[in-house]
Amino acid sequence: MQLATFLLVLEDFMLPCVTKKFLGFDCPGCGFQRSLSFLLQGNFEDAFHMYPAIFTIIPLFGFLLADAFFKIKYSNFITISLVVSTIILILGNYILKFI
C-alpha cells in the first residue's frame, strides 16, 4: 500500500518542461519522468510508448555504476553500445513526434 501511495505522490512532484513551457514544443527529454513513473508502476508498454529510451538509459546508468566498482571486461564496448543505442532511440523518438 505504501508503494502505491508513493507512486501517486511522485506524479505531484514532476518537473515541468521548460522548453515546452516557453517555446511551445517538446524537448528530446520530454516524457522521461512520466515514463519512469509508468515503469515503477509496472506498465512497461506505456513506459515504452511515452519514452522508448528509458529501457537503454536505466541499463546504461546501472552498468556505469557497476563499472565504477568492478573491473568489467569489454566495458568500453558495452558503454559505447548502450550510449549509441540510447542516442538513436532519443533522436528517433524526437523526430517521430514532429512527423
The pLDDT of residue 3? 62
pLDDT in tens, 16-74: 777 778 887 778 888 888 899 899 888 999 999 989 999 999 999 999 999 999 989 99
pLDDT for 19 equals 75
Give the other-Cβ count within 10 Å of 40's Cβ: 13
Q: By the 8 A CB rule, do 99 and 26 touch?
A: no
* Mean pLDDT in residue range 69-91: 94
Place of cell 511551445: 24
**Using CB atoms within 10 A of its CB, is residue 98 exposed (0-12), middle (13-18) or buried (19+)?**
exposed
Q: Which helix or strand (DSSP H or E) is residue 94 part of?
A: helix 75-98
Q: Write down the domain spans for the chain.
A: 2-98
First and final CA of the chain: distance in angstroms? 41
Q: What is the pTM of this model?
A: 0.76
88 vs 33: which has the higher pLDDT:
88
Question: The cell 509508468 sits on which residue?
Answer: 38
> pLDDT confidence of 1, banded at 50, 70, 90?
low
| pLDDT mean over 67-91 | 94
pLDDT tops 70 at residue 5: no
DSSP SS3 for 29 = coil
In the DSSP assignment, the letter for residue 40 is H
